[in-house]
Amino acid sequence: MPDPDDFENVFPLIPGLEGQPVSVEPLPGGLTNRNFLLCVGDKNHVLRMAGADTDLLGIDRAREILCQRAAAAVGVAPDVVASFPEHGVLVREYVLGRTLTAADFRDPALVTRVAQALRRFHDAPLPDGIGVFSPFAAVRSYHRLAAQRNVAMPARLNDALAHLRRIEDELATDEPLALCHNDLLPGNFIDDGAQLRIIDWEYAAAGDRFFDLGNLAVNLEFGPAEESALLDAYFGTAQPDHLRRLRLMRLASDMREAMWGFVQAGISKLHTPDYYIDYGCKHLDRFLSANQYLD
């Protein structure tokens, strides 16, 4: 159970709690935050408490709320019930459904539904003030922070950063920005059988839609046929230049994850530094082994 002191400043601010029986139970998972099931009378919510120094990861809580509400307006995200950035707390609608796993995405019908959900929020109007996300800028920022905090990073990282600069140059585009989630792990999708909802919008911002596509594909370890099926469902057909962009963004995604792991080793209290170093090295090695996409 969470420490009641964690909530004493927050509970009075949440609407609808007055005179209602309230219970709080921890939810599993979470690499950055702690999550709880908040039961108020006969209504369930998810209460998320931010981990330490998450602003150093490029997370802007006010921007997150704008993006999640925009996605909720097109039926892709749960509604925000309340937000208290000064306390690092978000309360959102509890979505009753099945949390997806990587194995679920082997179903072509599900991939089609996911592609349609992505297209829906990518094409949604951009809220004012949401800022811009670039995986390349994120890598540079994380690298500086990890170095400042004396995180022991592997020597092979220097070669990876040089490769990443080539990828950034090739992916430069003047295409309009889209509302992007930027953290499409399988566990961030909930399926109630009729509707897919996507949770955890803390990295969301205006960005390149191909980062979401590549991020999803690499997180699910899609092969060429599955990449093509995703793009067919998203665009109507998989063009060669679309496949190239998706594959390069897969690489950018792995480098973002690698550097995220290294900087978390220097700031996070949720797991040991070795846990995050191992996470970072896993993604760094996958990035380095996949550079045939540059040929």
CATH code (residue 116): 3.90.1200.10
Name residues whose C-beta falls within 8 Å of residue 75's C-beta, 6 or more positions apart in sequence: 120, 195
Structure tokens at 281: 């090295």
User: Is residue 140 located within the same domain as residue 113?
Assistant: yes
pLDDT, position 246? 97
> Does residue 174 share a domain with residue 59?
no
Q: Which residue has the tokens 């509400």?
A: 69
Q: What is the model's pLDDT at position 88?
A: 76
Each residue's pLDDT tens digit, 183-223: 999 999 999 988 999 999 999 999 999 999 999 999 999 99
Last residue of a domain, one of 93, 122, 150: 93
Say what the pLDDT of residue 21 is: 75
Same domain, 83 and 102: no
Please write the tens of the pLDDT for every residue from 1-12. Answer: 344 445 566 666
Q: Are residues 123 and 60 in the same domain?
A: no
Q: Tell me, yes or no, whether 49 and 116 share the same domain.
A: no
Which of the pair, 36 or 252, is modelled with greater confidence?
A: 252
* Average of per-residue pLDDT across 171-189: 95
Domain boundary residue, one of 70, 93, 116: 93
Same domain, 112 and 70: no
Residue 50 pLDDT level (bands cut at 50, 70, 90): confident
Phi, psi of 249 (to 5 degrees): -70, -25
- Contact indicator for 171, 134 with CB cutoff of 8 Å: no
User: pLDDT band at residue 94, thresholds of 50, 70 and 90?
Assistant: confident
Q: What is the share, in percent, of the chain residues with pLDDT greater than 90?
A: 65
pLDDT digits (tens, 9 = 90+) for 99-126: 999 999 999 999 999 999 999 999 999 9
Q: Looking up tokens 């990449």, which residue turns up?
A: 227
60: pLDDT confidence band, cut at 50, 70 and 90? confident
User: Do 59 and 108 fall within a single domain?
Assistant: no
Please check whether residues 199 and 120 belong to one and the same domain. Answer: yes
- List C-alpha distances in Å: 264 to 57, 58, 113, 209: 8, 12, 33, 26
Clarify whether residues 128 and 272 are in a common domain: yes
* Same domain for 162 and 32: no
Whether 105 and 45 share a structural domain: no
pLDDT of res. 293:
53
pLDDT > 90? residue 82: no
- For CA atoms 245, 246, 249, 254, the dihedral sign is negative
Q: Are residues 47 and 165 in the same domain?
A: no
Domain termination residue (choose one: 76, 93, 110):
93
Q: Name the one residue in this structure whose structure tokens are 């059988």.
A: 193
Instruction: Write down the residue that tokens 């208290």 correspond to.
Output: 84
Question: Looking at residue 35, which CATH number applies to its domain?
Answer: 3.30.200.20
Domain that holds residue 36: 4-93
72-81: average pLDDT: 92
Q: How many domains does the chain divide into?
A: 2
